[in-house]
């Protein structure tokens, strides 16, 4: 058993580095234990040898310096791993099992967990409801872009894959179950996408592509994806979506009408979040753009899913109001059109088992949709740079060379 761990950390705006730290222990963070008056020792936890851990757009917000993340913040909330150590109270997963880890950390015992709202567990973060691995203001839990990671409340949190060999064979799809596949699906589902729906997805990054593929799985008749990055639009078009180029002149509604014959869609999904930009090549940041677009182009009575991240603290915001998450949303428009809005962290456990079955039975090809690409742990800094430059890829860190076709590190 290793006595050390290597992990990706935030160094400064635009920079991450791989650092050495202590091998994880079966203990929860001291601030969590102290705040809730619970033991630090965690017999309900496991240690995972990380099989894959993905770079997420939410990580990029921190790395760009657009959150209050401190230097040294550990990174990585999209985790798939092999159990290598279990606490004495863990009953239903064991050593050698390969499992997906929902990015939401949930106790499985509070009111919110009982109601299936695992994204806002009440017992895992002193600052607010909800916690995540390796994320600022999310409870101080160590991230999973690492060699090893500790997972608490393991019987509740882990999704065990039924067959190890099958899991490794499909790992590039299954790794997306920790976050972006359920998150994209949540955006589409809560927007009301169903058989025959027409759908607009704002953003062709990995979450937007996952939302677009999810809309297809839910039966959408047409999925339109808007972005200003031609390579990302090409990626969306590669699996049957219609790319809407927002870098060119013209109103979004008119561009939609050119495709559908009408300027509105049944449902819209905001997969961009608070770093949204206005339309047009070289346009500046305008954080309410996507939400206002979604209300403009969604038909009366339609739904808007908002998996894109919005924050309460943005030191790089365009103005003082946006620094605290106050942006110029035309709520009156959404009210007048009787829109429904769904916001917040995706409760991954509400979807991951069903989506796992879709992958295992070859009904979903999420790795292909998001253009999943493996890198090793030492390649993480370059992966972050390429992602920030707009690469039309989803970078998957393979710290132990366990992904088939890659040599062991």
**Residue at token pair 């809560």:** 190
Number of domains in the chain: 2
373 found inside a domain = yes
Q: Of all residues in the chain, what percent are helix, strand and coil, respectively (each to 5)?
A: 30, 25, 45
Question: Residues 198, 98: one domain?
Answer: no
Quick one: 132 and 236 in the same domain?
Answer: no
Does residue 10 sit in the same domain as residue 145? yes
Contact 85, 93 (CB under 8 A): no
**Residues 72, 93 within the same domain:** yes
Residue 406 lies in a domain: no
Residue that is last in its domain, among 316, 342, 368 = 342
What is the DSSP secondary structure assignment for residue 118, as one 8-state letter?
G
pTM, 2 dp: 0.96
Q: Do residues 22 and 159 share a domain?
A: yes
Same domain, 280 and 256: yes
Answer whether residue 408 is part of any domain. Answer: no
Full pLDDT tens readout for the chain, 409 residues: 567 899 999 999 999 999 999 999 999 999 999 999 999 999 999 999 999 999 999 999 999 999 999 999 999 999 999 999 999 999 999 999 999 999 999 999 999 999 999 999 999 999 999 999 999 999 999 999 999 999 999 999 999 999 999 999 999 999 999 999 999 999 999 999 999 999 999 999 999 999 999 999 999 999 999 999 999 999 999 999 999 999 999 999 999 999 999 999 999 999 999 999 999 888 899 999 999 999 999 999 999 999 999 999 999 999 999 999 999 999 999 999 999 999 999 999 999 999 999 999 999 999 999 999 999 999 999 999 999 999 999 999 999 999 997 544 4
**Residue 404 resides in a domain:** no
> How many other C-beta atoms can be found within 10 angstroms of the C-beta atom of residue 27?
15
Residue with tokens 């019987």: 155
Q: At what angle do helices 352-360 and 180-190 cross, to 10 degrees?
A: 110
Residue count of the chain: 409
- Write the DSSP symbol of residue 338: T
What does the pLDDT read at residue 43? 98
CATH number at residue 263: 3.40.50.720
Residues 282 and 362 grouped into a single domain = no
Return the DSSP state at 123. S
11 and 89 within one domain? yes
318 and 365 share one domain: no
Residue 33: which H helix or E strand, with range? helix 30-36
One domain, residues 333 and 360: no
405 assigned to some structural domain: no
**368-386 b/e with 16+ CB inside 10 Å = b?**
ebbbbebbbbeebbebbeb
Considering the domain boundaries, does residue 280 fall inside one?
yes
Is 117 a member of any domain?
A: yes
Helix H or strand E encompassing 357: helix 352-360
d(CA 195, CA 365): 19
Containing structural domain, residue 121: 4-179+347-397
Of 322, 342, 362, the domain-final residue: 342
Domain stops at, among 342, 363, 387 = 342
What per-residue confidence (pLDDT) applies to 123? Answer: 98
Contact call for residues 270 and 308 (beta carbons, < 8 A): yes
Q: Has residue 194 been placed in a domain? A: yes
Per-residue pLDDT at 281: 84
CATH number at residue 23: 3.90.180.10
Q: Which residues of 316-340 are buried (b: 16+ CB within 10 A; e: fewer)?
A: ebeeeebeeeebebeeeebeebebe
Nearest Cα to 145, choosing from 109, 97, 183, 178? 178
Judgement on whether residues 232 and 328 belong to the same structural domain of the protein:
yes
Claim to verify: residue 159 and residue 199 sit in the same structural domain: no
């Amino acid at each position: 058993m290793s006595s050390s761990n290597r992990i990706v950390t935030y160094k400064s705006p635009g920079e991450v580095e791989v650092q050495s730290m202590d091998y994880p222990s079966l203990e929860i963070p001291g601030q969590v234990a102290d705040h809730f008056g619970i033991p630090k020792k965690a017999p309900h936890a496991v240690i995972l040898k990380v099989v894959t851990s993905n770079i997420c757009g939410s990580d990029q917000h921190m790395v760009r310096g657009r959150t209050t993340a401190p230097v040294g913040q550990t990174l990585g909330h999209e985790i798939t791993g092999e159990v290598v150590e279990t606490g004495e109270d863990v009953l239903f997963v064991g050593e050698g099992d390969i499992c997906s880890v929902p990015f939401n950390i949930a106790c499985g015992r509070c009111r919110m967990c009982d109601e299936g709202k695992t994204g806002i567990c009440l017992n895992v973060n002193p600052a607010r409801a909800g916690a995540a691995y390796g994320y600022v203001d999310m409870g101080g839990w160590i991230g999973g872009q690492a060699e090893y990671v500790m997972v608490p409340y393991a019987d509740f949190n882990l999704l065990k894959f039924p067959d190890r060999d099958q899991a490794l064979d499909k790992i590039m799809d299954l790794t997306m179950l920790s976050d972006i596949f359920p998150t994209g699906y949540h955006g589409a589902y809560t927007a009301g996408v169903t058989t025959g729906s027409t759908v607009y997805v704002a953003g062709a990054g990995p979450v937007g592509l996952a939302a677009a593929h999810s809309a297809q799985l839910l039966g959408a008749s047409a999925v339109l994806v808007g972005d200003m990055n031609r390579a990302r639009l090409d990626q969306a078009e590669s699996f049957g979506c219609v790319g809407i180029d927002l870098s060119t002149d013209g109103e979004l509604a008119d561009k939609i009408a050119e495709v559908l014959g009408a300027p509105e869609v049944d449902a819209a999904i905001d997969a961009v979040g608070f770093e949204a930009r206005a339309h047009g090549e070289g346009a500046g940041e305008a954080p309410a753009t996507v939400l206002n677009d979604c209300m403009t182009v969604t038909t009366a009575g339609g739904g808007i899913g908002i998996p894109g991240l919005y924050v309460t603290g943005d030191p790089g915001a365009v103005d003082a109001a946006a620094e605290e998450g106050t942006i110029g949303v035309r709520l009156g428009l959404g009210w007048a059109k009787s829109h429904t809005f769904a916001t917040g962290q995706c409760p991954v456990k509400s979807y991951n088992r069903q989506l796992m079955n879709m992958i295992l039975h070859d009904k979903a090809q999420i790795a292909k949709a998001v253009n999943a690409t493996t890198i090793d742990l030492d390649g993480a800094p370059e992966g972050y740079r390429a992602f920030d430059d707009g690469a039309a890829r989803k970078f998957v860190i393979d710290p132990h060379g366990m992904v088939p076709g890659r040599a062991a590190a």
